[in-house]
Structure 1
Amino acid sequence: MKLAAYAVAIAVLLVLSGCEAMVFQPDSRVYATPTDLNLSYREVRFDSRDGTRLSGWWLEPGGVPRGTVMVVHGNAQNISAHFLGFDWLVRAGYEVFIFDYRGYGASEGSPGLEGAVEDTEAALAYVLARRGGRVTVIGQSLGGALLFNALARQGTERIALAVFDSTFASLPQAGREALDRSVVGWPVQWGASLALTDRFDPIGIAPSLAVPKLYIAGSKDSIISPNHSWQLFDASTRPRAFWLVTEAGHIATFNAPLVRARFLAFIRRPVFDPDASAMLIFDRSEPAR
């Protein structure tokens, strides 16, 4: 009994001492480049607020772009893996800017929540300084939370649409739910969730973020429950929309051709139904072609 209690105590200490670090899972491996998909791109460098040198890619369509989309990716790997989920946007005529926050890929520094928010601010400022007109922004998973914070700090004047894909409403809540899925995690779930800061939680920002918002989630997301997207949608001011993609997992909603087609139509002309009861849109996920 004492041995079991000791093991639990050690587990608690390990989790609590590294909770923020556990949020980030960076690497520097090159998984692919746009050239592998016959896409044109430019690699660029820019600075975060504190001078940390960051890396980004401009993915360029043939001809004059229909518009600009900035992507804030999730917490694992780096842009060389995440850009693979957006090649269809480039082929549809949009230029896509995707970057690595600190500690990821070719970006300098070590990962951390405050730094990653500042990096997202810097990326947004970099894009807006180089492109006229309005920009669509997409944040996936952790990237959605970073985007929430960056928009709250920097403003939304030139943001045409903010898309939050599989984003958590609260980091402590998401941590609790993740540990609750395993018997091993039950003894430490509350301690771990208390150690995770709620300072960057999107649920506290959603009611005051004055920008058109689209929340999208997969009904079979086993990492971040789609209930998080619903909470954010429910807390948000209008205009807002929520798409629940059936049969889709975590950040896999855009794999379905039907969802891609609907999204392309939506960013060309975002129409938000004024009837709140019609804001929940169901799309059946289809195998990616």
Structure 2
Amino acid sequence: MIVGLLLALFLLVLVFLAFVGYKMVKPPRFVGEWTPRELGFDYDEVTIETRDGLRLSGWWVPNGEKTVIPLHGYTRSRWDDVYMKQTMEFLLNEGYSVLVFDFRAHGKSEGKYTTVGDRELIDVLSAIDWLEKNHPEKAGRIGLVGFSMGAVVTIRALAEDERVACGVADSPPIDLDRTGARGLRYFASLPEWLYHLVKPFTKLFSGARELNMLEYADRVSKPLLLIAGEKDPLVKVEEVREFYERNKKVNPSVELWVTDAPHVRTLKLHPEEWKVRVGDFLRKHL
């Protein structure tokens, strides 16, 4: 009887860990109702076919000669009204064309699971492919502005694709395991230590590869603006600073801006300063 109870308890624990892992890689889809027309700009609904066969849903807002692609974070979408809507409005008012889309398994895009920065790089490169094919005149100089998961992809794209000229990485998770553990507490009120038991299930469901973001500190040589918040419960300033100090050895065009904001909230708390800093950075490097 004792053996049977222990076995039943073990199976219950496995089911619970599998359920948590499944929920982590299959976040609820965030879909809103506003469109760029509310910002005063006409737009096209677009479908981007990824290099691995998915269909991503997005908007193309033709404006200036240069294009900036804003990238949302985990659990959000292009409809996010904390940072995406404001970023799009800012970029359009600055005179850039904007291509924005929902990452796989987010918003209205296809995809069963998120890989939180791994295969999402394919999404960005496929979006650039779409831009080159459909609007080559707007694809000469491309900038990225990424938030959280989108910031991870921004850093990776700078290293992986020559077509990306510069990038802004706001609240980028550098130590993905520590951020994942903190995320369990932040999103689900579960203890951080549970992450190491849940992680194998997230990899099993999503097929994601592990990323070592510090390795990219040795590879990125293009203009990069890092933004980190001292009150961020998910990404510690010290982790972003470690990336910055390491990247600075090979990249004279890297900048670090530390604020007093929580995760991806610098734009919300300090909108004018954010717009000045990001605007100056993009004008200088695009």
* Range of TM-score over shorter length: 0.7 to 0.9
**Cα distance in structure 2, aligned partners of 1:205 and 1:13:** 36
Aligned residue number for residue 144 of structure 1: 151
Q: Do the aligned residues in 2 keep the contact of 1:47 with 1:54 (CA within 8 Å)?
A: yes
1:125 is the counterpart of 2:129? yes
- Where do 1:1-289 residues align within 5 Å? 10=12, 14-15=16-17, 18-19=20-21, 21-23=23-25, 25-27=27-29, 29-61=31-63, 65=64, 67-81=66-80, 83-86=84-87, 87-113=89-115, 114-129=118-133, 130=136, 131-153=138-160, 155-156=161-162, 158-179=163-184, 184-192=190-198, 199-236=210-247, 237-238=250-251, 239-246=253-260, 248-255=261-268, 256=270, 257-270=272-285
Q: Do the aligned residues in 1 keep the contact of 2:181 with 2:193 (CA within 8 Å)?
A: no
Relative CO higher for 1 or 2, CA cutoff 8 Å, sep ≥ 6?
A: 2
Determine helix, strand or coil for the equivalent of 2:218. Answer: helix
Counterpart amino acid of 2:152?
Answer: A
Q: Do the aligned residues in 2 keep the contact of 1:15 with 1:192 (CA within 8 Å)?
A: yes
The change in CA–CA distance for 1:196 and 1:27 in structure 2 (over 3 A counts) is: closer
Determine helix, strand or coil for the equivalent of 1:119. Answer: helix
Q: Do the aligned residues in 2 keep the contact of 1:74 with 1:140 (CA within 8 Å)?
A: yes
Q: What is the CA distance between 1:141 and its match in structure 2?
A: 0.3
Q: Do the aligned residues in 2 keep the contact of 1:162 with 1:214 (CA within 8 Å)?
A: yes
**Cα distance in structure 2, aligned partners of 1:220 and 1:23:** 25
Q: Which moved more, 1:205-214 or 1:22-31?
A: 22-31
Counterpart amino acid of 2:17?
Answer: V
Q: Do the aligned residues in 2 keep the contact of 1:70 with 1:137 (CA within 8 Å)?
A: yes
**Cα distance in structure 2, aligned partners of 1:164 and 1:53:** 25
The change in CA–CA distance for 1:117 and 1:159 in structure 2 (over 3 A counts) is: closer
RMSD over equivalenced CA pairs, Å:
3.1
The change in CA–CA distance for 1:120 and 1:160 in structure 2 (over 3 A counts) is: closer
Aligned residue number for residue 286 of structure 1: none
Q: Do the aligned residues in 1 keep the contact of 2:158 with 2:167 (CA within 8 Å)?
A: no
The change in CA–CA distance for 1:28 and 1:180 in structure 2 (over 3 A counts) is: closer
The change in CA–CA distance for 1:234 and 1:32 in structure 2 (over 3 A counts) is: same
Aligned residue number for residue 206 of structure 2: none
Q: Do the aligned residues in 1 keep the contact of 2:182 with 2:192 (CA within 8 Å)?
A: no
Q: What is the CA distance between 1:187 and its match in structure 2?
A: 4.8
Q: What is the CA distance between 1:60 and its match in structure 2?
A: 3.8
Stretches of structure 2 lacking an aligned partner (at least 5 in a row)? 204-208
Q: Do the aligned residues in 1 keep the contact of 2:24 with 2:202 (CA within 8 Å)?
A: no
**Cα distance in structure 2, aligned partners of 1:37 and 1:7:** 54
- TM-score, normalised via structure 2 length: 0.78
Stretches of structure 1 lacking an aligned partner (at least 5 in a row)? 271-289
**Cα distance in structure 2, aligned partners of 1:206 and 1:55:** 31
Q: Deviations over 1:128-171 (max 9, x none)?
A: 44324221112210112233344444x23x32212111010122
Overall identity of the aligned pairs, in %: 26
Determine helix, strand or coil for the equivalent of 2:166. Answer: strand
**Cα distance in structure 1, aligned partners of 2:10 and 2:256:** 40
